[in-house]
Amino acid sequence: MTTIKDIARLSGYSVGTVSRVLNNHPDVSPKAREVISRIIEEENFQPNSNAKLLKQTTASAVTVFVKGTSNVFFENLLEKIQETFKENGEEISVVFLDETANEVETAIQICMERKPKGIVFLGGNLKYFEESFAKITAPCVLVTVSAASLPFANLSSFTTDDIKGASDAVDYLIRKGHRQIGIVGGSLNTEDGLVSGERISGAEAVLKKNHLAFSYEKDYEPSRFSMASGYEATRRLLEKNDEITGIFALSDMVAVGALRAIQDKGLRVPEDISVIGYDGIEYTRYAVPRIATIRQDIDMLAKRTVEDLLMRISYRRSTVHEVIPYRVITGESIAVRKP
Amino acid sequence: MTTIKDIARLSGYSVGTVSRVLNNHPDVSPKAREVISRIIEEENFQPNSNAKLLKQTTASAVTVFVKGTSNVFFENLLEKIQETFKENGEEISVVFLDETANEVETAIQICMERKPKGIVFLGGNLKYFEESFAKITAPCVLVTVSAASLPFANLSSFTTDDIKGASDAVDYLIRKGHRQIGIVGGSLNTEDGLVSGERISGAEAVLKKNHLAFSYEKDYEPSRFSMASGYEATRRLLEKNDEITGIFALSDMVAVGALRAIQDKGLRVPEDISVIGYDGIEYTRYAVPRIATIRQDIDMLAKRTVEDLLMRISYRRSTVHEVIPYRVITGESIAVRKP
DNA sequence: CTGAAAGCGCTTACAG
DNA sequence: CTGAAAGCGCTTACAG
C-alpha cells in the first residue's frame, strides 16, 4: 500500500510538504507542487482518510442522515437536498439508517470522527433527540418532525403541518359526500413516532367536527408504510366494515396497496371507494387511477433546509422552526359518493 | 471528548487493558473487565473508529456497494442480502453510489481504510473492473453483471441471463399474437453498461427469428430506467408508430411509465396495447393492471451471493460465475391481440 | 493478567 | 518555502 511516506521518498520532498500539496496549502513552491502532484498521479495515491480524520480538526462535509432505506418520500427529498447543496458548491455525505436506529447516537459518533460542519436529519425520533442531542454542537436541521418544543440552540426544523394536512385530506372526502370514512396506516402507539399520531388525530378531528362516527375498532387498521402492509390492512378493513366509501391512507405507499386491495375485492376506485394518500411521491402521478394526495412541498423543504443550514454554518444565526405549506392534489382516485 | 485515556485514568487500569476489554480479548481478569466495563458504560464511551481502523489489521464487516440510489430492484435485492447475512450472524456495511460513480476505485479506498473481509457489488461497470480491480485482494461478488470474462481469482458473479430473459419477454408477446412490437428503455450506447444492450439484443433476436420487422427508428425509444423517463419515451414511441400493439419495457419502472402514457393517449392496457416489463419488483404486483414481467429470482440471487462469499471468506474456494434462473410472470397487462 | 512503548498514516505548529 | 518532530486515539507485540 502506498502511503504519504512513499510519495515523499519518490518525490525527494518531506512528508510535511506532500501533506501540504495534498491539502492545497498555499505555502508550497510551484515546483514542489508540480513534482509531488505528478508522483501522486503516477502512483494513483489516495490518502488514508482514517489517518486524515484522526488528526484533522477542520470541519468536513455536511452529513445527511436518512432514516429508513426504502422510504420513497425521503429519497425524493434527499435527491433535491443533494442538488440544492451542489448548487451552493457543497458536497454532502449521506448515511442511511434503519427505521428503528438511533439517529442521534449515530450522529454523535460521526461528529467525533468526521467533524461535519453541519447535519441534516431526514426523519427522526424526538425521544432520541431529548436524550442525547445536547452532545452535538454542529448546526443541525431536522426535517419532517418539529423540534420547536426542544430546547436546543443548534437545531432548526422544517415540517409540514401533518395535523392540518390530514384533516384537509379527510375534509376532501367529506366534501365529496363520503360519510363512512376509513383510515389505513401508521399505528396508535405513540412510541412509533409523531407522524402517524398527528395524521390520525388530524383526521379524527375533522370527522368529529362534521359529526361523523369514527371508531378505531370499525374504521381503522394500522400498517407499516409499505405497499404490502397497506394492502393487507385495507383487506382487513374492508373485511370488517363494508360500508366504507372513502379511505384515507396515511402514506402514498399505503394508498397503492389500498387501491389494489379494493380492486381485488371486486370493487372499483373511485366509483365504489375513493382513496386519498399522503406525501405526494412521484408514483401517485403514474398510478392508474392517479392517486389524490397531500403533496408535501419537497422543493421548498429542501430549499429552506439548505439555506438555513448554510447560513448558520457561515454566520451565527438563531434556529428556526418553520412549517412548509402543502398542496391538496386532486388525482383521479376520488369521486362523488353515489346516492 | 472522552477517550480511552480517560477510561484508563478513571478505572485505574492502563490504556492497554481498557483496549483489551473493548475488544473482548480473553486475557483480562474478571475484576478488571467488570470495573472497566462499568466506567465505559457510565461515561457512555465510544471508541474513535478512525483511530481503531488506522491500527487494526483484522478484517471488518462485509461491505455492499449499491450502484444507483433510487433503483428499486437493487433495494429489494439489498434487503434480502442483508437479511441473509444476518441469518448467518454477519452484519454488513452498505455504501450507496451514484449511477455514474466508479465503484471499483471507491472499493479500493474502502479496502485500505476498513479492510472488509468481503465485498458485494450490486451492479457495476466491467470497464472499471478491468482497469483497477486487480488492486483488490478481498473475496468479492459482482451481482447482475457477469464477470466470467474477467481474469480475477477473487471475483465471483451471479447474474440473470438478460439476453434469454428479454427474448422470453418478447416471445410471450409474439405468442399472444402481437406482430408490431415496440421496445422502450435503455440505450444503444454500449458505454452505458451491458444490461440494456443485452436485453435489446435478446429482444431483437427473437423478433428476427419470427421474421418480424424491427427498426430502431420506428420501433424503439431509449430512456433512463425511471417512470418519468419511461413515460416520455413511450409517448414518443406511440407518436411515431401507431401500429404497435405490444411493448417490451426494459425495466419495470419504465413499464409503469409506459402504462400511464398509453392510457393518457386514450388507449387501454391490455385491450389496445399489451406491456411486459423486466425485473419483477414488488410494485408490478400492486399496479393496476398487474404488470407482466421477467422476474429475476431475488431470493436465489441473494442466497447464492451470501453463500459463495461466506464460503470463500472462510475457506479457500475458487470463484464461480452462475446464471440464476428467472421466471416469466403473467400479470394482467398482456392480452391476445385483437384480430 | 497487566503495563510501557512502539507505531498505524496522517496534519500542523515550530523553527529555520 | 521546507523539514523534523510531536501527536491524534487507538492496538498489539513484548516483557514481566
Nearest one of A80, A49, A87 to A66, comparing CA atoms: A80
Protein CA A16 to sugar C1' D13 (Å): 29
Q: 0.85 exceeded by the pTM?
A: no
- Check if the beta carbon of residue B129 is closer than 8 Å to that of residue B99: no
List the pLDDT tens digit at each of the 339 positions of chain A.
789 999 999 999 999 999 999 988 888 999 999 999 999 988 888 888 888 888 776 677 899 999 876 688 998 899 899 999 989 888 888 888 877 889 999 898 888 877 888 999 999 999 999 999 998 989 999 999 999 999 999 999 999 999 999 999 999 999 999 999 999 998 888 666 678 889 999 999 999 999 999 999 999 999 988 899 999 999 999 999 999 999 999 999 999 999 999 999 999 999 999 999 999 999 999 999 999 999 999 999 999 999 999 999 888 889 999 999 999 999 999 999 876
Residues 6+ apart with CB under 8 A from A216: A188
Measured between beta carbons, the chain B residues lying within 8 angstroms of A108 are 46
Q: Which residues of B257-290 are buried (b: 16+ CB within 10 A; e: fewer)?
A: bbbbbbbeeeeebbeebbbbbbbbbbbbbbbbbb
Start-end of H helices in chain A: 4-11, 15-22, 30-43, 49-55, 72-87, 103-114, 126-132, 162-175, 194-209, 216-219, 227-240, 252-264, 298-314
Q: Is the C-beta atom of A5 closer than 7 angstroms to strand C?
A: yes
Protein CA A3 to sugar C1' C4 (Å): 28
Protein CA B7 to sugar C1' D9 (Å): 12
- Check if the beta carbon of residue B277 is closer than 8 Å to that of residue B291: yes
- Check if the beta carbon of residue A167 is closer than 8 Å to that of residue A152: no
Q: Which residues of B206-237 are buried (b: 16+ CB within 10 A; e: fewer)?
A: bbeeeebebeeeebbbbbbbbbbbbbbbbbeb
Q: Is the C-beta atom of B19 closer than 7 angstroms to strand D?
A: yes
How open is the CA angle A156-A158-A164, to the nearest 5 degrees? Answer: 135
Residue B130: CB atoms within 10 A of its CB come to 15
Beta strands in chain B (DSSP E): 62-67, 92-97, 119-122, 140-143, 155-159, 181-184, 220-221, 246-249, 274-276, 293-296, 321-323, 326-329
- Residues A288, B263: C-beta atoms closer than 8 Å: yes
Rounded CA gap, B46 and A53, in Å? Answer: 16
Q: How far is CA A168 from CA A10, A175, A188, A200, A295, in A?
A: 69, 10, 20, 12, 11
Q: Which of residues 270-289 of B touch A (CB under 8 A)?
A: 282-283, 285-288
